[in-house]
Amino acid sequence: MDNALDVNVRLAMYKQLLRLRLVEDAIARRYSEYEMRCPTHLCTGQEAIPVGVSAHLRTDDLVFSGHRSHGHYLAKGGSLKSMLAELYGRATGCAGGKGGSQHLIDLSCGFMGSAPILASTISVGVGAAWEIAMRGESRVVVVYFGDGATEEGTFHEAMNFASVKRLPVVFVCENNLYSVHSSLDVRQPNRPISALGSAHAMAASHADGNNVETVYRMADEAILRARVGDGPTIMEFTTYRWMEHCGPNGDIELNYRAASELAAWKERDPLTMYREVLIADDLLTPADDMALRRQIDEEVEEAFSFARASAFPCASNLMAHVYPARTRPA
């Protein structure tokens, strides 16, 4: 293929796609055991976006997230053991077992946090980008959010401020066509969400979010633009969530989306499509793929065992971490 990416990059992205899928599948299978007692928003079907974006990020770059944060966290370098322990409410979790699926945070890998309040982390991410700009650093901030978040006022305020200050931030809209049970066409006019970026005088683009190499190439430009001080970008990626809004099951019986629509999107599975591309390019064999699956399955099983064997947080620690520790000036 023309302008083919480096072989190691392509294989690494496939491995990460497969890893995210197998992790989410395992969470869905075990959720009904009622040991994970937190709401869980799975990112099954949307894996190509965090994989393609994070391939360009350094450990000291910062990521903020909202719903469906598992893929954002793991692709940024977050610990699988710490994430699963968090879902199980254990003290070894990345938020000490107090946050659950919707409040992942791990400063060691630059994952600054996820929150379920729609659009709430967008303005916080822009604030972090402002600090980076004032320090003259080359780090960048990536903020993930869904199409529903673009209907909140804070989204536009943050976009305006980032544009005026030319901040090193990349806004990543994962447009999966639904906000809970409401489809995009009953909530927004018929125009790309990326057009809102143009209205705020920033670079904007819109592409297929199920093609990991498309995501990779678009993110390359946006993150480089931010890193060299050329200001913010909004990238809109069209994609689709396979599971219900919150939980491990299907939701077709609710009649807000059609079974045929879900089936059509599964035909465009980002994992399957990329596997077929790599096999056609003689970079992957079915035997390689099976070996990789076994390797990841072992990692996932080990992480679940770690999470379930970990202790719960002490009750005496309940009020810790509620407010930042006070420090007195010297």
Q: Mean pLDDT across the chain, nearest whole number?
A: 96
Q: How many Å apart are CA 150 and CA 156, to the nearest integer?
A: 8
81: Cβ–Cβ under 8 A, 6 or more apart, which residues?
Answer: 92, 302, 303, 306, 307
3-state secondary structure of 43: coil
3-state secondary structure of 235: strand
Q: How many Å apart are CA 90 and CA 308, to the nearest integer?
A: 8
Stated length of the chain? 330
pLDDT tens-digit series, residues 263-284:
999 999 999 999 999 999 999 9
Task: Indicate the burial class of 183 (C-beta count within 10 angstroms; 0-12, 13-18, 19 or more).
Answer: middle
> How far is the CA of 75 from the CAs of 4, 22, 55, 292, 310, in angstroms?
22, 13, 8, 17, 24
Q: The pTM is what?
A: 0.96
Pairing of strands 182-183, 178-179: antiparallel
| Helix (H) or strand (E) run with residue 237 in it | strand 233-238
pLDDT of residue 1: 45
Residues linked to residue 183 through DSSP beta bridges, in sequence order: 178
pLDDT of residue 233: 98
pLDDT band for position 2 (cuts 50, 70, 90): low
Residues linked to residue 141 through DSSP beta bridges, in sequence order: 62, 169
What average pLDDT does this structure show over 245-253?
Answer: 95
pLDDT tens-digit series, residues 158-203:
999 999 999 999 999 999 999 999 999 999 999 999 999 999 999 9
pLDDT of residue 329: 62
Tokens of 259: 């079974």
What average pLDDT does this structure show over 5-12?
Answer: 97
**Residues of the chain with pLDDT > 70: what percent?**
98
What average pLDDT does this structure show over 109-124?
Answer: 95
